[in-house]
Structure 1
Amino acid sequence: MVRSLGTVLALMALVGFGAPVAAGPFSPLKIVNDQVITQFEFEQRLLFMQLLRQPGDLEKAAMDTLVDDRLRMSAAKQFGVKMTPDQLKAGMEEFAARANLTAEKFVEIIGQAGVQPETFRDFVESGLVWREIIRGKFAPTVSISETQIDRALANGRPMAALQVKLSEIVIPAVGAGRDAALQRADKLRLQLRGGADFASLARQNSSAASAGRGGALDWMLLTELKPDAAKVVRGLAPGQVSAPVVLDDTVVIYQLQEQKQEMTQPSGAIMVDYAAFLVPDDGASAAKVRAKVDTCNDLYAVAKGLPADRLTRQTLPQAQLPSDVAGALSLLDAGESSTAITRGGWRVFLMLCRRGPPETEMPSRDEVRVQLTNQVLGAQADIYLEELRSEAMIRTP
């Protein structure tokens, strides 16, 4: 993704290096079921991808993505998925923000390079409707277990944190006034569904300090919200408005403006939590232990009643590990063990408990759950798109 205005301007030199011009800009290059992809659309997508500095065979990628977009929009029509103007605007802002630009400035820059605003809009719309389809079709079936979260955290992955940019309408709901506040919030939500402007309603109705800004809040980590609010916001797409959320003595309505996942910046120190359990070097004792344990904590039950020096557990910076221990642990994931080391006639049952940044720099369980869910949904989206592609009639005129 283009990261700065200067980079975008520098890439304008690429204009003119696209595919040869065909007989006319609207001559068909590909037909996907009954939908035509024109020469003009192809040239626009190719130029857009050049400006974004996409790698690989851009001519092939441009056509492939146009075909995929046709399939996505056909699926959207089948499921009745449409983007409102506000959702589309929020999606364009979200994309442009990756280059530290507003949508308006982004459109201006790519326009100077020859890319039409409709090209950018169609590209964003296809991605937004696809996200809605995948959420609606597959999200209810995705269940991330606590064990999966434990495993991800133990292995120091993932390291991305979900950030959101929200607007809010906060209504006081003290004591017996809660029912009245909820009724008021429901009325406001109906107005918003009818097309009312969120910022205007926030200025008129919100009791929060953000009211003067139309309810707008700064970027924040999703985990900075209270759990009930985070749960509601997590299910929103850009532009969508939440159901009223009761938080202490207030009722709050949120609108999601943008969201992004940013990689956290670890301190650089990789910490390794490991256990070393001394067992007889007889070839069978280590196998018996392995059969009884799944995590490092399970070793405490196995070692119960034995001398304290038989089981040790340490958390050290990776650079400070003994060389033989470091070598053995480097081959393991959390919960795996090695018996490659001996100590004074004992076999060392070595088990990796956790490897990664310090605990204070790790994502929360909620963040990990969201990321693992997105990984599953991403894989299911790829499979579903491949199914649509295999069922479609795609031909060259």
Structure 2
Amino acid sequence: MHGMNGGKMTARLQTWMRGLRCLAMAGLAALGVATAAPAQHSPFAPAIIVNDQTITWFDLEQRERFVDALGTPGDVAKEAEKGLVQDALRIQAARDLGIEIDDETLKAGMEEFAGRANLSLDEFLAELEKVGVYPETFRHFVRAGLLWREVVRARFAPRARVTDDEVDRALSMAGRGRGVRVLLSEIILPLQPGREAEIEAFAKDLRAAITSPAAFAEAARRYSAASTAISGGKLDWLPLANLPPALVPTLLTMDNGDVTDPIPLGNAIGLFLMRGLDEGPAVPPPAQAIEFAVVPLSGKTPAAEAFAALRNQVDTCDDLYGVFKGRPEAFVRRSVLSGAVPGDLVTPLAALDPGEATLVPAAAGRPARFVMLCGRTPKIADGDRQAVREALFNRRLAAYADGYLAELEADAIIVRK
């Protein structure tokens, strides 16, 4: 679900969004609910006709309220119109294939959506009612999504099947380790105890709202807690082997411009945009364990100056013991499996070689930190064939779905009153 907007919801949901704003280092601007129907029109007069399906001014006004309540990024009116037009096309496609969903499936879908906000269906509908959204508006939204899922499966599942050769190629690329490099952009959303489910739901909704690299960059600037937020989340080239294993199968199936689903990164959730992939020569396999040191820079000296001063004193992690002799609490040295690296340190550490250090700026209540890579321990991994196969299948199915929806929209007769 898209993050709910403050100012019009109950204290429970307002508290949720205030927490998300703080965690993401950015706030959602309070959006006013626009009235879609001009004064001279009846609310139930046609506003848009999509082939043979009518969208009324009331439908538009309701969807605007719904989009606003969910905190969807972008222009509320444009997002409402776009969503209703696409929902009409999805429903028509299902009708053409004779696809229907029963009441039990629809209710389950509505309950799952409400559960993303840690609310029961009744609680969620009550919150929507407080901002003027009728239950039927929400029911129509969920029904269109469920019907579309079945349409996509019926039309494209056989064509999206993944061959063993394709899985072998993806695993072969993963086995090349540092020979494969990726160019990514990132959005890092820190987790906070007690708010994990809410932030996970926000991450899913943010992913759904990102429809282009430009939209990803804007979302990174607004919501990411990483130091790359100022540049729209852009990272430099990174060796694939330096990234968490959970990321690898997904990255190997992506084309330029694709965005991952939310990926758990320990103490954070990440979204990644693929900007480039470079296949290099085969080299030793990826690391299994990573050892690194972290020094909080919380004194009065500016973080950049404190980092530079400390960097001039150390060439390896072992040197930190001499610098902080008698003060072992001044830094932390850890060795963890590559998949267990704290989320906010994943990409900073991925860019380092042993003995190199980077400054991680203050974010989400944490001070700026001096982070040094001590070393990586290699281990040959067999690779998870099923994970790679599923990632390839889902990515291919999503591409078919996007292309088919664009085709339906291009062929449709859409009349705006």
Q: TM-score, normalised by structure 2?
A: 0.46
> Who wins on radius of gyration, i.e. which is larger?
1
Q: TM-score, normalised by structure 1?
A: 0.49
